[in-house]
Structures are given as structure tokens and as C-alpha cells.
């Protein structure tokens, strides 16, 4: 899929392009599936912090099989089933990458599950563990809890021993969050969530709030955060950048913490390595697995991306190049 003009997904098209030459130490992967992430939508619109030179192919993550390795490439052989992580380039049927951009696909993962595992789970782990320091017995409030990064946070929060409160815009979405471990659900279309959180916590508020939505959701979160709590700003799916009211931060003695898992890992590879190892250990034990709710052929990329931009997706959305 090629982006030649910035804007909505419908401006892009699937094209045949020349095969990339395999460089020294590189690996060619036949991509079978690619995860659809909200930053892909933003990047195609020119609204993401990374702005690749056009034309470019979106796609942070994918999964497939190693086809061939260049001279001095180490760690993988032809036929290996792998997860691919890039900053862009996975909405295609092939990728040429460095060995460091690959992880072995967990044995019981499908390609669709592998293609939608790492970005959301790494964001959740970096946010809850490495930035939010979520402790056993604390209360975690997850906004957008049925989305990709939200559902991963619900699942990981339960693994970490927290009481998880999920917010979403429909009962269907709340049911998905509860199926992944949420203890309580709040439909914020039916009830203001700050009052509901206070009711559920006996007035104490949430110790950690995981917010990939932004806008009014972020601003209202400061009204139901516990004293000394941590408000994790993960993204702005609402399309609105919130304004922090410093008086509430002072009164609550809380912290507003930015979560950028990818950038943190680039600046501190050891931090990323620790997160990835922990996630794959959980995956191997059968404790962590993405919920893939929709799979589209690559040619229907615009429809897939619209599910995210319209906030209709439950769990993960995947593009496939098979069949």
C-alpha cells in the first residue's frame, strides 16, 4: 500500500513496486499479515510526529516467514515464522529488515495474532510497568478499553494484580473488556465516569489512569484520580489535545506521565529489551494474546483504517496478504 498524498486512507492505493534489493546483513520476510494501528492512520494523514518522505508504505508491525538472508545476517533462517516491527513499511507482501527488527512468532500464535501483538502490548507494558509503576492491589482505570492498546492494558493490568475499571462507549465494548479481565465497566455514554470511579473506589479514585483517548476524557480524569496517582497520556484518539489544569495536579498531588514506548526503546534499548522479554514470556505461558476482531485483505486497507479512526474497532484489526 502506497501513500503518495497525505490525507484520509482513501487517497492511498495498492501498487506493484520493484522488489527491494537484499543488503548486507539484511533479511527478506514474506509478510502474511499486518497490524493496523492508530499511528498508521495519523502518519498517512501527515499528523504523526514521524513524517516519512513520500511515497511510503505505512505499517508498524507484521508477521510472516523469512524468505532469505543476506551475507552476515544472523539469528534467523529461511522458513522461520517471525514478527516484524518497523516504523513504517508493513502494509506490503514483503519487507527487507535488519535482524534486530524481528522476533520469533510464539508457537501458538497465528500470523494475524503475531502481526497485532507487539505494538499494543509494548505500549501497555511500558506505560503500566516502566512509567506508571502499577502495583498489585492498586486500582487501574483504562479508557478506550476495547481498543487495541486499551484491551492490552486491561489484560496486563489484571496480570499485574490490579483492580481494573474499564470505560467505553457501548455495552458491547465493555463486554469485550470484561472478557479480558476488567473487574468493572463504565459506559460513559450513560454515566459520567468520574462519579462512577469515585463510587467504585469508595471516593479514593484510581491510582493509575491509562488514557489513549485524550480530549475531555483526559481533563475529566484529573477529577477521579487518587492522591499521588499517575495519569498516563498514551494518545489522542478523540482527535483533541487536552489542556492540563495545573491546580488539579497540585491538589491531587498526582503525576501526568507521557508514554512513548517506541521512542523510549530507541533511546534506551535495554528498556525495550526488558519489556519485550517480559511480554514474550507471558505470551509463551498463554497469559497474553491479542484479540483480533477484524481481518481484511490488503486491498481493503481504507475500510480497516476507518474502523480505528472512527473508534469502532474492538481489539485488533489486521490486514492480510494471504489468498
Question: What HEC string does the chain produce?
Answer: CEECCCCCHHHCECCCCCCCCCCCCCEEEEEEEEEECHHHHHHHHCCCCCCCCCCECCCCEEEEEEEEECCCCCCCCCCCEEEEECCCCCCCCEEEECHHHEEECCCCCCHHHHHCCHHHHHHHHHHHHHHCCCCCCCEEEECCCCCHHHHHHHHHHHHCCCEEEEEECCHHHHHHHHHCCCCEEEECCCCCHHHHHHHHCCCCCEEEEEECCCHHHHHHHCCCEEEEEEEEECCCCCCCCCCCCHHHHHHHCCEEEECCHHHHHHHCHHHHHHHHHHHHHHHHCCCCCCCEEEEEEHHHHHHHHHHHHCCCCCCEEEEECCC
The per-residue pLDDT for range 93-139, each reduced to its tens digit, is 999 999 999 999 999 999 999 999 999 999 999 999 999 999 999 99
Compute the distance between CA of residue 125 and CA of residue 41 in angstroms, rounded to an integer.
Answer: 23
Superfamily grouping for domain 9-117+289-320:
Medium-chain alcohol dehydrogenases, catalytic domain (3.90.180.10)
In this predicted structure, what is the pLDDT of residue 304? Answer: 97
pTM of the model as a whole: 0.94
What distance in Å separates the CA atoms of residue 150 and residue 134, rounded to the nearest whole number? Answer: 15
**Can you give the pLDDT at residue 73?**
85
pLDDT score, position 70: 87
Q: Is 120-262 assigned to CATH 3.90.180.10?
A: yes
- The distance of Cα 140 from the centroid of its chain, to the nearest Å, equals 18
Which pLDDT score, from 0 to 100, does residue 74 have?
A: 87
Q: Where are the domains of the chain?
A: 9-117+289-320, 120-262
Q: What pLDDT score was predicted for residue 83?
A: 98
Burial code (b: 16+ CB inside 10 Å, e: under 16) for 50-60 equals: eeeeeebbbbb
Do 9-117+289-320 and 120-262 fold alike per CATH? yes
From residue 72, alpha-carbon distances to 21, 22, 25, 229, 304 in Å are: 15, 12, 5, 49, 38
The C-alpha atoms of residue 154 and residue 28 are separated, in whole angstroms, by 35
Q: Which of 120, 150, 165 is nearest to 238 (CA)?
A: 150
**What does the pLDDT look like over 26-38, one tens digit per residue?**
999 999 999 999 9
Q: Is 219 left (phi over 0), alpha (psi -120 to 50) or beta?
A: alpha
pLDDT at 167 (0 to 100) = 97
Give the residues of the chain that fall short of pLDDT 50: none
d(CA 168, CA 157): 17
* Distances 295 to 7, 51, 121, 316 between C-alpha atoms, Å: 23, 27, 19, 9
**Positive or negative CA dihedral for 267, 32, 34, 105?**
negative
Interior/surface letters 129-161, b for 16+ CB within 10 angstroms, e for the rest: ebbbebeeebbbbbbbbbbbbbbbbbbbbbebe
Amino acid at each position: 500500500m502506497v501513500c503518495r498524498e497525505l490525507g484520509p486512507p482513501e487517497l492511498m492505493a495498492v501498487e506493484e513496486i520493484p522488489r527491494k534489493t537484499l543488503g548486507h546483513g539484511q533479511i527478506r520476510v514474506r509478510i502474511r499479515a499486518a497490524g493496523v494501528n492508530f499511528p498508521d492512520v495519523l502518519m498517512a494523514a501527515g499528523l504523526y510526529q514521524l513524517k516519512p518522505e513520500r511515497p511510503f508504505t505505512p505499517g508498524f508491525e507484521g508477521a510472516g516467514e523469512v524468505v532469505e538472508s543476506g551475507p552476515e545476517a544472523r539469528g534467523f533462517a529461511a522458513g522461520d515464522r517471525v514478527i516484524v516491527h518497523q516504523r513504517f513499511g508493513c502494509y506490503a507482501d514483503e519487507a527487507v529488515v535488519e535482524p534486530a527488527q524481528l522476533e520469533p512468532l510464539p508457537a501458538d500464535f497465528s500470523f494475524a495474532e503475531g502481526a497485532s501483538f507487539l505494538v499494543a502490548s509494548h505500549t501497555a507494558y511500558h506505560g503500566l510497568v516502566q512509567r506508571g509503576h502499577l502495583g498489585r492491589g492498586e486500582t487501574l482505570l483504562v479508557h478506550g478499553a476495547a481498543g487495541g492498546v486499551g484491551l492490552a492494558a486491561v489484560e496486563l493490568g489484571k496480570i499485574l494484580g490490579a483492580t481494573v475499571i474499564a470505560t467505553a462507549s457501548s455495552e458491547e465494548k465493555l463486554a469485550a473488556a470484561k472478557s479480558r479481565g476488567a473487574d468493572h465497566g463504565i459506559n460513559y455514554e450513560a454515566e459520567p465516569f468520574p462519579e462512577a470511579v469515585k463510587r467504585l473506589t469508595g471516593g479514593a479514585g484510581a491510582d493509575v489512569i491509562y488514557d489513549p483517548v485524550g480530549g475531555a476524557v483526559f481533563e475529566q480524569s484529573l477529577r477521579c484520580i487518587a492522591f499521588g496517582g499517575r495519569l498516563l497520556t498514551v494518545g489522542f484518539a478523540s482527535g483533541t489535545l487536552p489542556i492540563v489544569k495545573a491546580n488539579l495536579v497540585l491538589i491531587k498531588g498526582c503525576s501526568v506521565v507521557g508514554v512513548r514506548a517506541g521512542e523510549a526503546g530507541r533511546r534506551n534499548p535495554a528498556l525495550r529489551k526488558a519489556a519485550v522479554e517480559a511480554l514474550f514470556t507471558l505470551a509463551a505461558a498463554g497469559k497474553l494474546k491479542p484479540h483480533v476482531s477484524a481481518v481484511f485483505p490488503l486491498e481493503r486497507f481504507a475500510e480497516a483504517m476507518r474502523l480505528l479512526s472512527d473508534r469502532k474497532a474492538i481489539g485488533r484489526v489486521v490486514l492480510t496478504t494471504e489468498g
